[in-house]
Structure 1
Amino acid sequence: MKERTAIDTIKGYFYQFDLAIVKLLELKKDTETIVIEGIEDIDINTATEETAIQCKYHAKKEYNHSVIAKPIRLMLDHYKEVIEGTKKQINYKLYGYFESGQAKLTLPIDSTFLKKHFLTYTEKKVEYYHHIKHNLTDTELDDFISLLEININAMEYQSQVKKISTLLINQFGCKAFEAEHFFYNNALKVIKELSIEDDVKKRKISKSEFLKKIDLKRVLFNEWFITYKGEAKLFTELRTQYFTALNISPFERFFIIEIPTTNYVRTELKDVIFTISKKWSKLSKRDQKPFCPYIYLHNIPHKELIELKKELYSEGFIFIDGFDFDGAEFSVKSICKTANNDNSIKFKLLNKFEHINLTLNEINKTKEIYQFYCTNPFFNSSYINVKHVQIQISQLTDIKKIV
């Protein structure tokens, strides 16, 4: 029971975050803004008006007036301050999804209905009248109602997600996969980071700033996106998108991998190398265009790299690194040597960061770069004709589940 409640709570947060994303994407002007967790869950500021939105998602609950009564009373508290001149006038919106019971509420409401069902309540057997507490007249309550919009027929969770996808596709001219894994993934991260800011001023963002922040064509290992998607499903979708093909083309593929500074295990790295080499090499005599991958290990200590190479060599795992003899300088001609059945070169190891561009510049065939990074991408490709995929990982073993 507790687990189901926790899932429902998380889904409620997602629903609110998704609504914020929708509202940002629907703003007419790039200068218009929203505030996360301002007066209400979402405050929208346009050139003509300001609206505070309270968001409720109850997929397993029947609608009852009491469910939205407290949020409406809190909105009335703000309205009282408007009357007193301490706050500026805004519009109020109650946006909610319920499993059933919507027929109980007939709109529009009047002041009598407002007082009876939303402003009168009981706590510890004592009845309270919120309108009397604030000494508000029916005329003032009618004015409040004119500023209040109630929608208890809001979009269902997945329908709202689909709407976001459509809005992102239209905004960026992208495909559905990119809309979800790049832009929506980034958008969740941006909204989540805004929501935890202590200063309300830092929870404010314009449409143009939001679009700039999410316009990153790389896959983030974002905890909120992982919760939404599920780790196993995410890895499967990435593998399907980038690493599944009936016939692997003889391209020159570069796997650029950042080594985590903590929890590094050599055997895990070796498993990753073995996996990449096995899947992305073709060395049989039947292959007219044999090939094997290039691998660069970012931030691996020099001594550890030597020990790794020793182990691979002692296990009979054949590789080259562009150094032909002791004391020789790096040779792009050497590293670009064709792998085949005779020499059995399983992969080509790039020892240094600068060797990546030197090698890329030497190759005239089709090239692809797959970068796996921990926090931020460390290699920025300037090759407009080279496919460059950037995927964030939390640990080395993630790579095996993707490639």
Structure 2
Amino acid sequence: MTNRSAVDTIRGYFYQFDMSILSVLNLNSPDDSIEIECIEDVDIRTATDLTATQCKYYAKTEYNHSVIKDAIKHMTSHFKESLMGTKPTVSYVIKGHYASGQEKLDGGIDVDFLKKHFLTYSEKQGTGKITRYHHSELGLSDDDLREFLKRLSVDVRAKEYDEQYREILGTIQSIFKCTPFSVEYFYYNNSLAVIRELSIKAEPTDRKITKKEFLARINTSTILFNEWFVEKKGKKAHFASLRKEFFTEVNVSPFERFFLVEVDAGSYTRSELKELIFDLSRKWAKLSAREPSPFCPYIYVHGVAKSELIELKGELCTEGFRLIDGHDFLGADFNVSSIIQNATHGNGIKIKVVNSLSNVELALNSISKTRRIYQFHLGRSYFDYENPAVQHVKIQIEHLADIKSII
């Protein structure tokens, strides 16, 4: 597959995912639902109706009847089973976006058109070909086909990729009354993750979600590292947007910032964590003698062994990098007053290392100044701190090194 065709294929996946997201957002009742990859790409179920929708995205190619032929054959097969009572009664929808050729369907679809262009096809047999008639093999009469056409809607002028995406963002914003950043990085990102998760479930019953359930699942406070969302945005642009939203300040304010970072024991290296600590101190500490309110950041490292943390702190101290951890002497208990002491030019404290989450919470509760928590997690978040006075940003990452690209 060439790079261009690979991009087109990925955009096709996104187009289908986005249509699924838009479908569930536009449901009228909280108890109405969508089903992913069941009868068709997206099935919409309300209290009274079931609609099976298939979508096509061919932004660079011309519309031809052959593009939707297999979809219509599949739908007529399902329609036949519904007449027999073995499948539910369904309305059928085909939506497609094409570069040109849409006028080929401007005259509509009648029974003769349906049979000629969608239900008649050739098939190899030996050295030759035979003509097959799908409607005849199904035993569908013209009256049956007229009934099928009443249930069929074909839209070959469906929204363009970016237009559909903008509609999703606008719909989310109207529902949650949030900022443009939150629309994309929280709600849309989470929406994409939910739809992707549903689409790979083995059982059809597990690929169903109501509007109420969907809205609850996307309303989270964690920025997921969703590979599909990052693919859509681009990793560099993804990190740049996070940096702009949370870590760009013209004049760094003297807040008490807690950086909670998670390491993967299987790929952890001390040098990488040290470089991150140096970066945090350089960017988020001000210890100049002229600084009226000097400060430095806190760091908690999740997933590192206690013995390794001791070795790391010892190495930093040996190198003359001044830190405190709330333990004032060998064997001393954690002293919250010690760790929340002011960092100054005189004492040269460049970072405060918090050894446990319980100590993080004690420190947060003991500080009266403005506090901010930045939690970077590899899997699920590992620390909950609900206080309306404290900004708590949760960002999922793939690797520890990603943090340096964000902060």
Alpha-carbon distance in 2 for matches of 1:277, 1:105: 64
1:371-393 CA-to-partner distances (Å, cap 9, x unmatched) read: 00111111101211100000001
Amino acid at match of 2:75: M
- Counting only pairs closer than 5 Å after superposition, residues 146-157 of structure 1 correspond to structure 2 as 146-157=150-161
Residue of structure 2 aligned with 1:284, choices 264, 270, 288: 288
C-alpha RMSD of matched pairs (Å): 1.1
Among 357, 369, 374, the alignment partner of 1:365 is 369
CA distance in 1, matches of 2:297, 2:197: 38
- How far apart in 2 are the matches of 1:82 and 1:200? 18
Q: Distance in 1 between matches of 2:213 and 2:331?
A: 52
Counterpart amino acid of residue 174 in structure 1: C
Q: CA deviation at 1:107?
A: 4.5
Residue 290 of structure 1, CA deviation? 0.8
Tell me which moved more, 127-136 or 138-147.
127-136
1:168-247 → structure 2 map (5 Å cutoff): 168-247=172-251
TM-aligned CA deviation for residue 190 of structure 1: 0.9
Q: What is the aligned partner in structure 2 of residue 402 from structure 1? A: 406
Return 376-385 or 131-140, whichever deviates more: 131-140
Distance in 1 between residues matched to 2:289 and 2:168, nearest whole Å: 50
1:313 aligns with 2:317: yes
Q: Tell me which of 159, 164, 167 is aligned to 2:171.
A: 167
Partner of 2:98: 98
Per-residue deviation, 1:106: 1.4
Q: What is the distance in 1 between the residues matched to 2:177 and 2:341?
A: 40
Q: 1:238-387 counterparts in 2 under 5 A?
A: 238-387=242-391
For 1:42, give the aligned amino acid.
Answer: V
Aligned to 1:38: 38
Residue 82 (structure 1) aligned with residue 106 (structure 2)? no
Deviation at 1:88, TM superposition (A): 2.1
Deviation at residue 240 of structure 1 after TM alignment: 0.5
Q: What secondary structure does 2:222 align onto?
A: coil
Letter in 1 for 2:277: I
Q: Please identify, of 278-287 and 128-137, the stretch whose mean Cα deviation from structure 2 is larger.
A: 128-137
Query: Counterpart in 2 of 1:115?
Result: 115
Q: 1:55: which partner in 2?
A: 55
**Distance in structure 1 (CA, Å) of the matches to 2:264 and 2:392:** 21
Letter in 2 for 1:13: Y
| Distance in 2, Cα, partners of 1:120 & 1:194 | 35
Q: Deviations over 1:341-397 (max 9, x none)?
A: 222211111112211111111111111000001111111012111000000011100
Tell me the TM-score normalised to structure 2 length. 0.97
Deviation at 1:299, TM superposition (A): 2.4
Q: Deviations over 1:171-203 (max 9, x none)?
A: 111111111111111111111111111111111
Using structure 1 for the length normalisation, give the TM-score: 0.98
SS in 2 for 1:261: coil
Deviations 1:290-325 (A, max 9, x none): 110011112211110011011111111111111122
CA distance in 1, matches of 2:103, 2:328: 80
- Percentage of matched positions with identical amino acids: 50
Alpha-carbon displacement from aligned partner over 1:16-35 (angstroms, at most 9, x marks no partner)? 11111101000111111111
Give 1:269's aligned amino acid. L
Which structure 1 segments of 5+ residues have no match? none
Could you tell me which amino acid in structure 1 is paired with residue 40 of structure 2? E
State the match for 2:8 in structure 1: 8
The Cα of 1:108 is off from its aligned counterpart by 2.8
The alignment partner of 1:38 has SS state of coil
Amino acid at match of 2:333: E
CA distance in 2, matches of 1:107, 1:213: 43
Q: Deviations over 1:39-77 (max 9, x none)?
A: 111111001211000111111111011111110111000
2:140 is matched with 136
Partner deviation per Cα, 1:181-231 (whole Å, 9 max, x = no partner): 111111111111111111111111111111111111211011111111111
Is this contact kept in 2: 1:183–1:217, CA < 8 A? no
Aligned length: 403
- Distance between the aligned counterparts of 1:173 and 1:20, measured in 2? 21
